[in-house]
């Protein structure tokens, strides 16, 4: 199928790609716009310090992880649209709780509900794409989406800082609420249902268990799910600890959003490049090259730190991040597409398995990396070296076994 040919029930790409990017970008907006406000929120709600403030990020990811194993399987019964709209409604409820929160416990409850709700558009939209596209075409669509998506982590911290300069941190949550309303209206009015009634299945726990087992038993899906969890775990470690590193280690203050956005641009460049490269070289080769690049970059950086008597400079950290995140941008679309490629007949459950298990791994690893902050960037960069090395070994092992069979 040509990428220019529109499948049934598909919007034109010029509308479908930005709509999908905005659905997915709500996750990034909910994280990145909040980062400049973590210290202010912690002070207002009397947290114990920067490491407790990191929970504002990690608790949302915990809700996100739980939601992924709920919404996608149900979408195989109800269709994709109802579950995405329900998830957006839950996200808005969590945001309202955050707006009026007076204690850190209440705020974390709201953040959990935000993560629970936003998991639906993030995960079910992957099944929606898989309903329409497969293989390299799916990877290309996801790269196009990521190229637009990356604008959010570039501008969101600056937007959050601007709101703090002009108003109160609660206004950031009001921005999230208004954005969710906009997305819900656009999606509800314009996006057709992609799962036809004859492809839907009655919901039952026994069938769900059987389908989960089927998805997990496929070696390709299982391998790339684990690899995705390892890769995203390291990246989540950066997201959780970025505010602490930039503002408490490098003392950037209100300049933090600029440097965070600068590093995020690298992911955008990679996503734009991947949309073209994947059609020429394929997902598997690009995945291996990107994993090698991430491991080599982290290892070289650690060697430089060990040879130097001084901590890593801000310039060195930015250079490491720019190179590493370029590789992460290559990996983001390809690894998910590879995991889902054999699962077209049960895209909803497969999205749940891939998203849920990889996010569970990532939340556990990322939270541990953030809490391991010791006044240097060594724990973070070491996690990139170790976790991506394990992901590389896992992928190579799977490809070798697949070639033999």
pLDDT digits (tens, 9 = 90+) for 124-155: 887 788 788 876 777 778 777 866 777 788 88
Cα(307)–Cα(9) distance, integer angstroms: 58
Per-residue pLDDT band for 348 (boundaries 50, 70, 90) equals low
pLDDT at residue 3 greater than cutoff 50? no
Residue 14 pLDDT greater than 90, yes or no: no
* Cβ 291 vs Cβ 391: under 8 Å: yes
Match 């608790």 to its residue by tokens: 59
Contacts of 316 (CB under 8 A, 6+ apart): 301, 304
Provide the whole-model pTM: 0.79
Residue 8 confidence (pLDDT) above 60 = no
- Cα(380)–Cα(294) distance, integer angstroms: 13
Answer whether residue 274 shows pLDDT above 60.
Answer: yes
Q: Which domains does the chain have, with CATH numbers?
A: 13-191+203-404 (1.20.1250.20)
What pLDDT sits at residue 123?
80
CA distances in angstroms from 85 to 99, 152, 184, 205, listed in the order given = 21, 21, 6, 23
Residue 17 or 145, more confident? 17
pLDDT over 80 at 93, yes or no: yes
**Per-residue pLDDT averaged across 179-191, rounded?**
95
Percent of the chain at pLDDT exceeding 70: 94
pLDDT of residue 108: 95
pLDDT averaged over the chain?
87
Residue 1 has a pLDDT of 41
Q: How confident is the model at residue 218 (pLDDT cuts 50, 70, 90)?
A: confident
Pick 331 or 345 by higher pLDDT. Answer: 331
Q: What percent of the chain has pLDDT over 90?
A: 44
pLDDT number for residue 170: 96
Cα atoms found within 13 Å of the Cα of residue 345, Cβ hemisphere only: 6
- Identify the pLDDT of residue 187: 95
pLDDT digits (tens, 9 = 90+) for 364-392: 999 899 889 888 999 999 999 999 999 99
Q: What is the pLDDT of residue 184?
A: 96
Residue 344 has a pLDDT of: 64
Coil vs helix vs strand at 228? helix
Residues 6+ apart with CB under 8 A from 169: 37, 40, 41, 44, 163
Q: Are the beta carbons of 54 and 368 closer than 8 angstroms?
A: no
Handedness of CA 362, 143, 150, 245 (dihedral sign): positive
- Three-state DSSP class for 312? coil
Compute the average pLDDT of residues 300-329: 91
């Amino acid at each position: 199928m040509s990428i220019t040919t529109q499948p049934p029930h598909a919007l034109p790409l010029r509308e479908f790609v930005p709509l999908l990017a905005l659905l997915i970008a709500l996750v990034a907006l909910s994280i990145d716009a909040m980062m400049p406000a973590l210290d202010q929120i912690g002070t207002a709600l009397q947290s114990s310090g920067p490491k407790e403030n990191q929970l504002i990020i990690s608790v949302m990811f915990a809700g996100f992880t739980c939601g992924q194993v709920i919404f996608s399987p149900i979408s195989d019964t109800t269709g994709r649209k109802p579950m995405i709209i329900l998830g957006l409604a839950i996200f808005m409820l969590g945001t309202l709780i955050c707006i009026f929160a007076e204690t850190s416990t209440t705020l974390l409850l709201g953040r959990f509900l935000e993560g629970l709700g936003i998991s639906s558009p993030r995960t079910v939209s992957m099944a929606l794409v898989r309903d329409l596209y497969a293989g390299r075409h799916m990877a290309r669509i996801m790269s196009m989406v990521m190229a637009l998506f990356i604008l959010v982590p570039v501008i969101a911290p600056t937007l959050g800082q601007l709101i703090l300069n002009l108003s109160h941190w609660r206004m950031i949550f009001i921005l999230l609420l208004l954005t969710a309303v906009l997305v819900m209206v656009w999606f509800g009015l314009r996006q057709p249902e992609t799962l036809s009634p004859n492809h839907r299945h009655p919901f039952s726990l026994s069938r769900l268990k059987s389908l989960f087992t089927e998805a997990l038993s496929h070696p390709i899906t299982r391998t790339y799910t684990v690899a995705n969890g390892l890769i995203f775990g390291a990246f989540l470690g950066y997201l959780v600890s970025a505010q602490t590193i930039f503002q408490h280690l490098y003392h950037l203050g209100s300049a933090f959003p600029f440097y965070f956005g600068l590093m995020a641009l690298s992911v955008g460049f990679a996503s734009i490049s991947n949309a073209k490269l994947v059609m020429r070289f394929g997902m598997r080769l690009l995945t291996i090259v990107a994993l090698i690049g991430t491991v080599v970059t982290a290892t070289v950086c650690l060697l430089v730190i060990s040879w130097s008597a001084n901590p890593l400079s801000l310039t060195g950290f930015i250079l490491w991040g720019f190179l590493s995140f370029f590789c992460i941008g290559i990996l983001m679309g390809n690894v998910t597409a590879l995991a889902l490629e054999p699962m077209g007949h049960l895209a909803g459950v497969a999205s749940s398995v891939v998203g849920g298990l990889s996010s569970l791994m990532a939340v556990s690893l990322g939270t541990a990396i953030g809490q391991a902050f010791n006044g240097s960037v060594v724990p973070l960069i070491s996690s990139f070296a170790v976790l991506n090395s394990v992901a590389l070994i896992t992928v190579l092992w799977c490809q070798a076994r697949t070639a033999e069979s």
